[in-house]
């Protein structure tokens, strides 16, 4: 049988080969000046054999193979590209030089993209069972953790920025998580009862939902900015407010802004979930003699759970991303690095803020997608 061409594989090969041709890393004498691009063979002593191996894998990917094999090849490719980046950084940085920076360049990003796409494509075609998806997610997170902890990437510019400010990084990471999860918790505490109330009071639905809708369209930067004077005023003029932690600067205004953004998805999904319950089920439950609260807790909410979890996914992913803007108003979080980096034109610092945010959003998004799926199965 003649081997058949796999067109997505062809696309990945084009992207990946372009990546091999472009500079893998950028060597900069210090963190701000523009650097010199080095391709894989120029950056590593064993660059040529590695380049040929990667090219061979990419070209072989143009043919049809079982999805498991593709998955393995893609994961191995991704790991190799990451290790090559780390090795190039260690190799290129002169010993005792604390100023020189080796940053990932276009070639690295394209190759990483090619293998990540290959991985995603193989997974989508395999359509693995739910438990296997959880296992793959956990495996991916764990191997990234091991890779970071092993020190193999320590020479890379982003990791050197991290090493220079470990304590601050941990503090901002905590702030970021507090912002994202704190606002989610607040939104659930307020939004769920509000959704239930709207379910019962049909006439209020239109007005409340349109107010929340308008809130959602206000640009995040403006909403964050407006919170500062409002809470500054409250802290200064309402007795006891300042003691209760209300303040015009810092975490608090950002938390409230994120909370306001989260209300619409929570309230509207609660409503959708509750109204979506089969009327026959409702009637049957009432016929069995369930009281209103029992009906809600024992029948309606469990049945609406997938839609509620979908709201949690929307809110969490959205807030992890929006929390970056808190960095602009002194609210902390990974945004601090992003905007500091933009101000100093230090792109490694921008990456130090942007990459963890993206990773966090990705993990949260995928994990909650899996939760939604499993809850659908039980509901």
Partner 1 sequence: MIGRVLLALAAAVLVAFLASPDSFAAVFEPFTRNNAPPIYRQTPLWSLTLSHLTLVALAVVASTVVALVLAVLVTRPAGREFLPLARTITSVGQTFPPVAVLALAVPIMGFGAGPTLVALFLYGLLPVFENTLAGLTTQPPNVTEAARGMGLTPRQRLWQVELPLALPVILGGMRLTAVISLGTATIGSTVAARTLGEVIIAGLLSANTAFVLQGGLVVGIIAVLIHEGFQALERRARARIGQA
Positions touching partner 1 (CB under 8 A) are 6-8, 11, 106, 117, 120-121, 123-125, 210, 213-214, 217-223, 225-226, 228-229, 317, 320-322, 324-325, 328-329, 335, 338-339, 341-342, 345, 347, 350-351, 353-354, 357-358, 361-362, 364-366, 369
210 forms beta bridges with none
Closest CA to 43 of 116, 107, 114: 107
Name the residue nearer to partner 1 (CB basis): 56 or 221. Answer: 221
Shortest distance in whole angstroms from residue 342 CB to partner 1: 6
Q: Element (H or E) spanning 25, and its range?
A: strand 25-28
> What gap in Å lies between CA 2 and CA 379, rounded to an integer?
47
Shortest distance in whole angstroms from residue 67 CB to partner 1: 10
Shortest distance in whole angstroms from residue 290 CB to partner 1: 36
**Backbone φ, ψ for residue 5 (5° rounding):** -75, 140
38 forms beta bridges with 25
Name the residue nearer to partner 1 (CB basis): 152 or 350. Answer: 350
Shortest distance in whole angstroms from residue 166 CB to partner 1: 21
70, 111, 227, 232, 254 from 116: Cα distances, Å: 11, 8, 40, 46, 33
Contact 81, 108 (CB under 8 A): yes
The β-bridge relationship of strands 36-38 and 101-104 is unpaired
| DSSP code of residue 37 | E
Shortest distance in whole angstroms from residue 378 CB to partner 1: 22
Shortest distance in whole angstroms from residue 170 CB to partner 1: 20
Half-sphere CA count of 171, side-chain side, radius 13 A: 10
Q: Element (H or E) spanning 27, and its range?
A: strand 25-28
Q: What angle (nearest 5°) sits at the alpha carbon of residue 297, between those of residues 295 and 301?
A: 100
Name the residue nearer to partner 1 (CB basis): 47 or 331. Answer: 331
Shortest distance in whole angstroms from residue 298 CB to partner 1: 33
For the chain, what's the residue count? Answer: 379
Name the residue nearer to partner 1 (CB basis): 173 or 286. Answer: 173
Hey, is 156 helix, strand or coil?
A: strand
Name the residue nearer to partner 1 (CB basis): 199 or 224. Answer: 224
Q: What share of the chain is helix, strand, coil (3-state, %, to 5)?
A: 75, 5, 20
Name the residue nearer to partner 1 (CB basis): 118 or 274. Answer: 118
- Residue 94: Cβ-neighbour burial (10 angstroms; 0-12, 13-18, 19+): exposed
Name the residue nearer to partner 1 (CB basis): 100 or 354. Answer: 354
- Please provide the DSSP assignment of 308-327 as one string: HHHHHHHHHHHHHHHGGGGG
Shortest distance in whole angstroms from residue 262 CB to partner 1: 15
The pair of structure tokens assigned to 278 is 């089969």
- Secondary structure string (H, E, C) spanning 276-311: CCCHHHHHHHHHCCCCHHHHHHHHHHHHHHHHHHHH
Name the residue nearer to partner 1 (CB basis): 294 or 340. Answer: 340
Name the residue nearer to partner 1 (CB basis): 16 or 335. Answer: 335
Name the residue nearer to partner 1 (CB basis): 50 or 227. Answer: 227
How many beta carbons lie within 10 A of that of residue 161, not counting itself?
Answer: 23
Shortest distance in whole angstroms from residue 102 CB to partner 1: 14
The pair of structure tokens assigned to 42 is 């120029």
């Amino acid at each position: 049988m003649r081997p058949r061409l796999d067109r997505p594989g062809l696309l990945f090969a084009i992207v990946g080969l372009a990546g091999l041709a472009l500079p893998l890393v950028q060597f900069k004498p210090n963190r701000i000046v523009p650097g010199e691009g080095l391709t894989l063979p120029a950056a590593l002593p064993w660059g040529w054999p590695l380049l040929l191996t990667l090219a061979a894998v990419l070209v072989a990917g143009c043919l049809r193979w079982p999805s498991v094999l593709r998955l393995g090849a893609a994961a191995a490719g991704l790991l190799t590209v990451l290790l090559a980046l780390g090795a190039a950084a260690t190799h290129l940085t002169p010993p005792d030089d604390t100023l020189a920076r080796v940053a990932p360049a276009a070639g690295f990003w394209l190759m990483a993209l090619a293998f990540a796409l290959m991985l995603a494509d193989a997974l989508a075609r395999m359509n693995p069972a739910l438990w296997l998806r959880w296992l793959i997610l956990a495996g991916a997170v764990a191997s990234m953790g091991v890779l970071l902890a092993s020190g193999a990437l320590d020479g890379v510019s982003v990791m050197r920025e991290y090493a220079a400010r470990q304590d601050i990084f941990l503090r901002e990471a905590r702030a970021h998580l507090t912002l994202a999860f704190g606002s989610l918790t607040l939104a659930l505490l307020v939004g769920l009862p509000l959704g239930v109330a709207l379910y019962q009071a049909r006439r209020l639905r239109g007005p409340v939902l349109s107010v929340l809708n308008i809130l959602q369209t206000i640009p995040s930067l403006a909403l964050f900015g407006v919170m500062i004077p409002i809470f500054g005023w409250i802290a200064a003029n309402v007795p006891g407010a300042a003691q209760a932690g209300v303040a015009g600067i810092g975490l608090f205004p950002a938390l409230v802004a994120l909370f306001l953004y989260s209300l619409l998805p929570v309230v509207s999904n609660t409503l959708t979930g509750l109204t979506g319950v089969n009327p026959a089920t409702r009637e049957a439950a009432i016929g069995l003699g369930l009281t209103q609260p029992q009906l809600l807790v024992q029948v309606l909410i469990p049945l609406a759970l997938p839609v509620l979890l979908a709201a949690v996914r929307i809110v969490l992913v959205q807030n992890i991303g929006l929390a970056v803007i808190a960095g602009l108003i002194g609210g902390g979080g990974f945004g601090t690095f992003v905007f500091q980096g933009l101000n100093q034109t230090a792109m490694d610092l921008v990456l130090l803020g942007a990459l963890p945010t993206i990773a966090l959003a990705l993990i949260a998004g995928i994990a909650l997608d899996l939760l939604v799926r499993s809850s659908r199965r039980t509901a």
